[in-house]
Structure 1
């Protein structure tokens, strides 16, 4: 046994001998300095372990490093491990310290799996009790994240590549195009969170944004010229149902989404500051939409809301109703039906609640001569400057307050006909807005 071993046959022979003698052996492996197979009796059997004794690059001590147990570690694997250790030592790196660092890094990576980072993102988004997203929004987040978790699970975020994101989203789009787009958008937010924590350098979901399949565009019917818009305002004023009339009047003034408007809560409206702070429902799953919006309230909106407060101020929602048990507020479908049946169906195919956003965006620019970014910010879009940086919404609150007051005053002038002299007599058109 004095000679070093070079074959598996020699190892098996040594194992049988130790089993017979009951004496421990440490057999060197020929050609691999410091590498040996330690064989020890263990009851009726024997155990064999490869280990490497080397000179520490700094302390000059000669520790033993256990490599693995034979036969689970083969002779070739033991030789390869020895070669790797010698390579580290040539760089003055201690192999055992290096292995421990790798173990720690691997453990950390297991805590940086996609599901872990997604849960951290969710916890971060729901940690502020004063700015909690709606329960409906959180449920939608969980639904979208679920698709990605089913695909990647504990896969470290650093190992998830743009092609992997594209493959998942395209697979989802084969069933429903919008689902794939929303999952990509949600993943982009989670990976952005990972970038901020220093877990990854690039956002793989952002890099495939332009590769998503697009669905056929559906345009929202909208009246965007002064004369027919003036008549629309008058017809809304003549509605008998106070909830529907008030909701449509506010949407016309503030061009908020119908869903956000009918779900408005009194606790979010500050009469003293003349502001309404809301969390847009669509902003929670789309990267091109803001997740919080401050809406300045013009005098006309304040007057409408104060009148409404006398009717529903004792309830949670501005447009409280007993007709819908689930939401306890007027629903957007009711507003759509109201517009489509108003004036014996005249507005069907001409204007919908969402169309007020196109009306405002068009006429505020064409009739009131405002630059596009102000009404666009008011729409809740993420608007970027020439350098690609998002505008600071709070910075433009004064300008937006002035713009909305002028827009409200302009509507009053349209009702009386005093502003129609500057009207742009184009045919009404359809315009797509987020």
Structure 2
């Protein structure tokens, strides 16, 4: 190894002319014709002479250059090529930059776009942006630990915490598949989220409660919200599907609404029969959104191109139904009341709700849609709602239970 001589000084480095100026131990300053000054180290590895670059003067001072030389010489004593180690650090830094939690989470979410219904994707995006990203934005997916993930889950509403935990596990698995995290290094989040007893979604199912909901919606002052709530009640479709209804999906002459597969939770296209009352609501919206893409336009500062589903929830709360009837509760209302009061067959009700088949055989072979039966059932349902909306209306009796 070359002897340390300390031949350079700060002044000599500053005034050095074009050429190579050695400091000992293989370190030298190369002054280029352009005037730039580059620190280099000449060394041999495996019998081959090569050079490492330590940066430019004055960004790298003489003292720092000597420190880097000492570290490089220590690596050489251990049989490590300083240039190879530098390249590995650069790759690791690039990998770490690409492994930032927010970046990987965004990649994961984008990869699920084609495999999920729009509403499912919206919910995952909401949980990530609102709860997980703010807490984990300074973390790398490569080094994210279970305690850090558990801390991020703290404070998330119980209804979303379980989903957030699932998203975190999925993001980590995605990172492993993409080579951004060590193979097999999963999170251990079992028990990280307090167990919450699942309850039924609030839904009006008693006649008096159904009458109260139907009457309040009929009297709600905001036209767009009132019409959307009415369609949700008349069709028993998911709130996200209702607010994102497009005119291209509606055939008023055939009295049908065709929801494309990408909007459905089951990933199967769904035809929804429309009663005369539903057609009337849509006719009323034509004056406001005819020629537009969406049936129900956005209100105020909503960040969606159509009415936001939260507008429906807010309206129900304003009407006094918080904890008593939710927007998703229209489905439970229909499933219970239409069966008990109108004696509509369960298979027809399930087909209208577009519930997934219960087992693999049904999923594979049962394509029954009961479309004709559902046209009749939805008209009966709409008539029933119209009847009970009036206090003086005749309430249809409970069906008689057999046996």
TM superposition score normalised by structure 1: 0.54
| Alignment partner, residue 408 of structure 1 | 378
The answer to whether residue 297 in structure 2 is matched with residue 297 in structure 1 is: no
In the TM superposition, residue 165 of structure 1 has moved relative to its aligned partner by 1.6
| Alignment partner, residue 269 of structure 1 | 249
In the TM superposition, residue 297 of structure 1 has moved relative to its aligned partner by 0.6
Other structure's SS at 1:66 match:
strand
The answer to whether residue 10 in structure 2 is matched with residue 15 in structure 1 is: no
The answer to whether residue 137 in structure 2 is matched with residue 150 in structure 1 is: yes
| Alignment partner, residue 52 of structure 1 | 44
Other structure's SS at 2:97 match:
helix
Other structure's SS at 1:15 match:
coil
In the TM superposition, residue 313 of structure 1 has moved relative to its aligned partner by 0.9
Structure 1 residues 148 and 209: alpha-carbon distance in aligned structure 2, compared to 1, 3 A threshold = farther
Matches within 5 A, 1:255-334: 255-258=236-239, 261=242, 263-267=243-247, 269-271=249-251, 274-277=257-260, 290=265, 294-300=269-275, 303-316=276-289, 318=295, 325=300, 331-334=312-315
- Distance in 1, matches of 2:8 and 2:315, equals 89
Among 147, 152, 155, the alignment partner of 1:168 is 152
Q: Structure 2: where are the runs of 5+ without partners? A: 32-38, 55-63, 388-393
Other structure's SS at 1:222 match:
coil
In the TM superposition, residue 213 of structure 1 has moved relative to its aligned partner by 2.7
| Alignment partner, residue 355 of structure 1 | 329
When the two chains are superposed, the root-mean-square deviation of aligned CA atoms in Å is 5.9
Q: Structure 1: where are the runs of 5+ without partners? A: 28-36, 56-61, 87-94, 281-288, 341-347, 426-434
- Distance in 1, matches of 2:23 and 2:66, equals 16
- Distance in 1, matches of 2:120 and 2:324, equals 34
| Alignment partner, residue 38 of structure 1 | 26
| Alignment partner, residue 113 of structure 1 | 100
Question: Do the aligned partners of 2:244 and 2:295 also contact (CA within 8 Å) in 1?
Answer: yes
Structure 1 residues 318 and 24: alpha-carbon distance in aligned structure 2, compared to 1, 3 A threshold = closer
Question: Do the aligned partners of 2:41 and 2:52 also contact (CA within 8 Å) in 1?
Answer: yes
Per-residue deviation, residues 264-307 of structure 1 (Å, max 9, x unmatched): 44436332663135988xxxxxxxx949785431243xx33322
Question: Do the aligned partners of 1:133 and 1:279 also contact (CA within 8 Å) in 2?
Answer: no
In the TM superposition, residue 104 of structure 1 has moved relative to its aligned partner by 3.6
Structure 1 residues 100 and 420: alpha-carbon distance in aligned structure 2, compared to 1, 3 A threshold = same
Other structure's SS at 1:72 match:
helix
